[in-house]
Structure 1
Amino acid sequence: MTDTIFLVLDMENDLIHADGPNGKSGYGEQVSSRGIIKHTRTAIDKARAVGIPIGFVRVGFSPDYRECPADSPIFSGARKNGLLKLGAWGTEIHPDLGKQDKDFDIVKHRVSPFYATNLEVVLRMLGTRHIICCGVSTNAVVQAMVREGHDRDFRITVLEDCCCALTAEEHASAVQNLKRFCSWSNSVEYAFE
């Protein structure tokens, strides 16, 4: 039994797939140039090999967008462009990450993985004390995970080579801002145990 979980944050098709709406945007460029999918799959496989549970956090809304805040600067484009619709290809986890049926699926309707989700129930049920995480983007969901996880007394480790933001500068700034709240490693050096 482990007190650790590996959470992969917002790595869904609408946000990171080359054929998705962000595939040609800054996110697509950063995901590709930084090797985010390859590094994340390496980390997932290492965690699985030692029995660490995996959780995938996804952002999405009902087909009628009833949970989508109309005035949100970050989510207003979802409704307008038909993105992040639960049950559609766009909110499925990128296929190269190898999601399995036994993995935890946490669906959120805001930036935070904790707000109005089943995440805390999952963590409590597992006896989690340590969260390893990564995701897109570093300055949104990863930042929310780190700050809120810290304030809930979890030890947090972020795998930097499995994270990116819209630009390299935004990513670097987020990493710098979060250094006081978590530890950092990468998919190659981190010893999952």
Structure 2
Amino acid sequence: MSSIYLVLDMMNDLVHADGPNGKAAYGEQVRARRIIENTRRAIDKARAAKLPIGFVRVGFSPDYRECPANSPIFSGARKNGVFKLGTWGTETHPDLGQQASDFDIVKHRVSPFYGTNLEVILRTHGVRRIYCSGISTNAVVQAIVREGHDRDYEMIVLEDACCGLSTEEHEGAIKSFQRFCKLSSSTEVAFE
């Protein structure tokens, strides 16, 4: 069975200490849970196991033409000038070591499947197992777990490389979707 590791929304706007969320709740959770270090450990292990790696990023054109006007989660993007493609904010955190050979999946909604090239990548490479982690647990991670499950992929979440705005939000999300996936961690995972 072919596998892939998807790193979800680990962009500077969300996780970098100098980004707009660096001093806010996400930044606190990223540091407290050692999300960057744990994600890098998982990436290095996936590379050693010769797994393809995909970096999923949320982003919009400079004029925000793809940004839904009535979305509670994205309404602040245009107002705050975040998630703008082609800027530092939508680049993957530099400590994660993204390479040119990695897949780059740009999305305009919460789900990495919706309106992206993800399904084509998975089919082309015969992927049946998706390892994933990222931010936030109750948004992109939950979305890919549920949709991946319903598309018949084996879903494995690296829990120690995920976080929400709070510990409670993260733990609540894990409880709500753990029936649809297997849980592992960056230290325990054995990429196959």
Hey, what does 1:125 align to over in structure 2? Answer: 124
- Say whether 1:26 aligns with 2:37: no
**Cα distance in 2 between the residues matched to 1:113 and 1:25:** 25
For structure 2, list consecutive stretches of 5 or more residues without a partner in the other structure. none
What is the one-letter code of the residue matched to 1:145?
Answer: I
Task: Give me the TM-score of the superposition, normalised by structure 1.
Answer: 0.99
**For 1:56-78, what per-residue CA distance to the aligned partner results, in whole angstroms no more than 9, with x for missing partners?**
00000000000001111100110
**Cα distance in 2 between the residues matched to 1:143 and 1:18:** 24
Task: Give me the TM-score of the superposition, normalised by structure 2.
Answer: 0.99
Aligned 1:2-151 pairs, distance under 5 A:
3-151=2-150
Backbone CA RMSD of aligned residues: 0.6
Shift of 1:179: 1.1
**Cα distance in 2 between the residues matched to 1:104 and 1:192:** 18
Q: What secondary structure is seen at the aligned counterpart in 2 of 1:69? A: coil
What is the one-letter code of the residue matched to 2:150?
Answer: D
Hey, what does 2:159 align to over in structure 1? Answer: 160
Q: What secondary structure is seen at the aligned counterpart in 2 of 1:113? A: coil
**Cα distance in 1 between the residues matched to 2:191 and 2:68:** 38
**Cα distance in 2 between the residues matched to 1:22 and 1:50:** 33
Hey, what does 2:173 align to over in structure 1? Answer: 174
Hey, what does 1:192 align to over in structure 2? Answer: 191
Q: What secondary structure is seen at the aligned counterpart in 2 of 1:145? A: helix
Q: Which runs of 4+ in 1 moved over 2 A?
A: none
Shift of 1:50: 1.1
Aligned length: 192
Q: What secondary structure is seen at the aligned counterpart in 2 of 1:129? A: strand
**Cα distance in 2 between the residues matched to 1:23 and 1:169:** 19
What is the one-letter code of the residue matched to 1:24?
Answer: K
Shift of 1:192: 1.5
What is the one-letter code of the residue matched to 1:178?
Answer: F
Q: What secondary structure is seen at the aligned counterpart in 2 of 1:147? A: helix
Q: What secondary structure is seen at the aligned counterpart in 2 of 1:189? A: coil
What is the one-letter code of the residue matched to 2:72?
Answer: P
Shift of 1:158: 0.1
What is the one-letter code of the residue matched to 1:5?
Answer: I
**Cα distance in 2 between the residues matched to 1:68 and 1:177:** 27
Identity of aligned residues (%): 71
**Cα distance in 2 between the residues matched to 1:118 and 1:28:** 29
**Cα distance in 1 between the residues matched to 2:69 and 2:102:** 31
**Cα distance in 2 between the residues matched to 1:73 and 1:177:** 21
**For 1:113-152, what per-residue CA distance to the aligned partner results, in whole angstroms no more than 9, with x for missing partners?**
0000000000000100000000100000000000000000
What is the one-letter code of the residue matched to 1:6?
Answer: Y
Q: What secondary structure is seen at the aligned counterpart in 1 of 2:179? A: coil
